[in-house]
Amino acid sequence: MKCRIIPTVFSHNKREFYERLSKLTKIANSLQIDIMDGKFVPAKSVSLQQIPSLKKYRNSFEAHLMVKNPSKYIKSLKNKGFKKIIFHINADDNVKVIAEARKNKMKVFLALNPEDKIEESCYLFQLVDGILLMGVHPGREHQKLINSTFSKVREIRKIDDKLDIQIDGGVNPSNASRLYVSGANILNTGSFVSDSENPKKALAELKRIAK
């Protein structure tokens, strides 16, 4: 599988959101926008109402829902222009969230935190388009990739050799290649690109290494 790199728009306020959105839409075809409600994770992002219509952009957008009851967000996300949602296991009725995403013709990925066990979620693998493994504990930037992420990628890849496996958190040039070799084919990048003096160059570096 080819490895894709997707920058993340992680923000705590409207100013930070628009700064990062403006910067990243210029250098990447696909972007992830993190939405946090301050309940599922301690941090809180811009609200869904503060996110503009994304249909005017040529980019493809996915929403990482670090929220309780993600099924409530899906229709609004579709109307905003999102094409894919990522929800965390047990944040809602899992099958309900997947059904709502399908109803709105959106791709759906299941997110697993570092403490979530693969064997407790593998019954859902056939119902989703992919799995997102958190390489860190969700809700904060500038964290180091948890080493068990590599073995979890390999474990999922043994279960399904065609399922998309996405990694979010702690991805940088020192581990991108190893994540890809382990079986991941989508890597999110947050602060490594968005905080770089030259985001375009930083993104190109990750793409080169991940090959």
CATH code assigned at 136? 3.20.20.70
Distance, in Å, from the CA atom of 98 to the CA atom of 110, rounded to the nearest integer, reads 9
Q: How many residues in total does the chain contain?
A: 211
The token pair at 142 is: 């500038």
CA-nearest of 19, 23, 17 to 35 is: 17
Residue 173 structural domain: 4-210
Write out the chain's pLDDT in tens, 211 residues: 889 999 999 999 999 999 999 999 999 999 999 999 999 999 999 999 999 999 999 999 999 999 999 999 999 999 999 999 999 998 999 999 999 999 999 999 999 999 999 999 999 999 999 999 999 998 887 789 999 999 999 999 999 999 999 999 999 999 999 999 999 999 999 989 988 899 999 999 998 988 7
pTM here? 0.95
List b or e across 45-72, with b for residues whose CB sees 16 or more CB atoms inside 10 angstroms. Answer: bbebeebeebeeeebbbbbbbbbebbbe
How many domains are contained in the chain? Answer: 1
Contact between 130 and 165 under an 8 Å Cβ cutoff? The reply is yes
